[in-house]
């Protein structure tokens, strides 16, 4: 990928998505090539040479961002608070009206095990930028999509 100049944690193992829009609400590209293609394809026009048109539409380079998911805070969910919430709900309808239930050691251990499982199984949605790369548009097109350089007919398909 000679068309990429990477910075930061662009290749970090925790990177899960890529986009040429650093403020993207949805991240759906799992490779840099998919993200770059999507960004450039929306700028294509059958009325001009691809490289000339892309140069005028997006410039000689574009930036691609590598995203990683945020990590859950180590204290979330908090077993003590989870257990307190559960006991409060149970006590509201079922407990002694004059006294709150005191958690037992077994309840505390179960709450800790439950919270550990939630931390392990929960998928965080929010992401942060891990790194970025500058893409040389012409090199990218020549290397990844040489068919874009073939002449197009008026319908926007490759003339054969």
Shared-domain flag, residues 31 and 59: yes
| Contact indicator for 2, 58 with CB cutoff of 8 Å | no
**28 and 65 in a common domain:** yes
With beta carbons less than 8 A apart as the criterion, state whether 15 and 65 touch: no
Alpha carbon of residue 94 to chain centroid = 44
Are 95 and 49 in a shared domain? no
Q: Confirm whether 135 is domain-assigned.
A: yes
Q: In whole angstroms, what is the distance from residue 116 CA to residue 76 CA?
A: 9
| pLDDT surpassing 50 at residue 55 | yes
Contact call for residues 139 and 9 (beta carbons, < 8 A) = no
pTM listed for this prediction = 0.61
Residues 95-131 pLDDT 10s: 988 899 999 999 999 999 999 999 999 999 889 999 9
Residue 160: the pLDDT is 46
Burial class, 94, CB count within 10 angstroms (exposed 0-12 / middle 13-18 / buried 19+): exposed
The domain in which residue 47 lies consists of: 4-71+124-149
Q: What residue has token string 């179960």?
A: 110
Residue 111 and residue 50 in one domain? no
Contact 54, 141 (CB under 8 A): yes
- Model confidence pLDDT, tens digit, residues 14-54: 888 888 888 887 778 888 889 888 888 777 666 667 888 78
Q: Give per-residue pLDDT as tens, 66-98.
A: 999 988 888 899 999 999 999 999 999 999 888
């Amino acid at each position: 990928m000679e068309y990429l100049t990477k910075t930061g944690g662009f290749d970090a193992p925790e990177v899960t998505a890529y986009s040429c829009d650093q403020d993207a609400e949805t991240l759906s590209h799992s490779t840099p090539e998919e993200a770059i293609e999507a960004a450039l394809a929306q700028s294509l026009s059958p009325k001009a040479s691809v490289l000339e048109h892309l140069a005028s539409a997006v410039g000689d380079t574009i930036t691609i961002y590598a995203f990683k998911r945020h990590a859950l805070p180590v204290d979330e969910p908090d077993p003590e608070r989870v257990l307190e919430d559960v006991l409060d709900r149970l006590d509201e309808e079922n407990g002694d009206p004059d006294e709150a239930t005191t958690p037992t050691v077994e309840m505390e251990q179960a709450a800790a095990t439950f919270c550990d499982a939630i931390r392990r199984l929960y998928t965080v949605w929010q992401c942060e930028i891990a790194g970025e790369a500058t893409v040389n548009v012409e090199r990218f097109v020549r290397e990844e999509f040489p068919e874009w350089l073939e002449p197009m007919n008026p319908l926007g398909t490759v003339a054969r």
